[in-house]
Amino acid sequence: MTLDEAFLREEILKLKNQRRAIILAHNYQRDEVQEIADFVGDSLELSRTASAIDCDVIVFAGVNFMAESASILSPDKTVLLTEIGATCPMADMIHVDSPRWERKSFPGFNNPPPFIYPVEFTLRDIKAQYPGTPVVTYVNTTADVKAESDICCTSANVVKVIESLPDERVICIPDRNLSMWAQRNTKKQVIAWDGFCHVHERVRPADVKKAKAEHPKAILMAHPECRLDVLEMADHVTSTSGMLRFAKASSEKEFIVGTEIGLMYRLKKENPDKVFYPLRKDMICPNMKKTTLKSVLIALKENKYIIKVPEEIRVPAKRSLERMLDVR
Ligand code: 13P
Ligand code: SF4
């Protein structure tokens, strides 16, 4: 640890105690940010922690939809997002009533399969097309989209959430890969949206073949935001914390990790006797990496960036999140 880092850590801990604050960090955060956090986890675990925790301030080291979820579930607490520019491009691929994303900004990603709704549409368009069909919304969405939905899901519980509904058909937004993975694992009909995560979408079967050839004994774990042709080659498909649990419980010694490389830190730390290889070294989410120790300190010191969801959106969005949290 450098002197600078030691100083930042000390200041953060001092302020954290003074302000009765809790630091929540996503599994993709920088190593040193994970190290200073009180809780590190996947989206589902962090939502659960945010709703249950006793504190005055939640400092969220992640991306904006995660801090919004914390604010939705804990309106009486001050929720701070460590970097205001930390967004999730996938969350911006769907909007309630006016499209806000242009396909041409991601060249090469312009051939949606015909059964998937193109992102030039809006959530209200797709709802009008399938009246009465429930909308299952990945937590990687903005608060207004959650408010317009029936229930939320994460990568860890999407199939359980779909199965919990009485309907035989569901609309699942916005990640086409997660939706196709859900379709593969349920008999119900899943209507998908054409959103994607640029970090996971870039992985191709050729990358899997290369990694498996380089590490023939390794088990491949992949996040359901990867393409279906990649998921079909994986040994285990699960959320980020699902990978942590799987690797710990497994008697295998080598693993290829098909998700953002920030997860490698906990995988290695919690399994010192095992070896982990990234599926692709460039699986880096630039938005997750915006937060540094300095951002955490400034957040606590200057009380920024406050994330507060307006009541008229918060109340229906909370209903969607709570319905998800009730699914066991
Ligand atoms: P998890 O819910 O698996 O942590 O994933 C969140 C995310 O943003 C994946 O890209
Ligand atoms: Fe969004 Fe992908 Fe980054 Fe996750 S990894 S926050 S889905 S851009």
What does DSSP say about strands 135-138 and 169-173: parallel, antiparallel, or unpaired?
parallel
Name the token pair of 59. Answer: 């400092």
Closest residue (by CA) to atom 2 of ligand 1? 43
CA–CA distance, 7 with 302 (Å, rounded to integer):
17
Rounded to the nearest angstrom, the distance between the alpha carbon of 259 and the centre of ligand 1 is: 9
What are the chain's domains?
Answer: 3-87+287-309 (3.40.50.10800), 91-199 (3.40.50.10800), 203-278 (3.40.50.10800)
Model pLDDT for residues 122-140, shown as the tens digit of each residue: 899 889 888 999 999 999 9
Is residue 285 in contact with ligand 2, taking CB distance under 6 Å?
Answer: yes
pLDDT of residue 47: 83
pLDDT of residue 117: 61
Model pLDDT for residues 26-83, shown as the tens digit of each residue: 999 999 999 999 999 998 899 889 889 999 999 999 999 999 999 999 999 999 999 9
Which residue among 82, 173, 203, 260 has the greatest number of ligand 2 atoms within 8 angstroms of its CB, and so is best to mutate? 260
CB 239 within 8 A of CB 178: no
List pocket residues of ligand 1, CB cut-off 6 Å: 27, 42-43, 140, 154-155, 197, 225, 239-240
Does residue 97 have a pLDDT over 50? yes
Name the token pair of 198. Answer: 């640029």
Closest residue (by CA) to atom 5 of ligand 2? 285
Closest CA to 70 of 37, 33, 44: 44
pTM score, whole prediction: 0.93
Which ligand is closest in space to the CA of residue 286?
2
Does residue 119 have a pLDDT over 70? no
CA–CA distance, 82 with 97 (Å, rounded to integer):
29
3-state secondary structure of 60: strand
Which phi and psi angles does 98 have, rounded to 5°?
Answer: -145, 125
Which ligand is closest in space to the CA of residue 283?
2
pLDDT band per the 50, 70, 90 thresholds, residue 105: very low
Name the token pair of 60. Answer: 């969220």
pLDDT band per the 50, 70, 90 thresholds, residue 92: confident
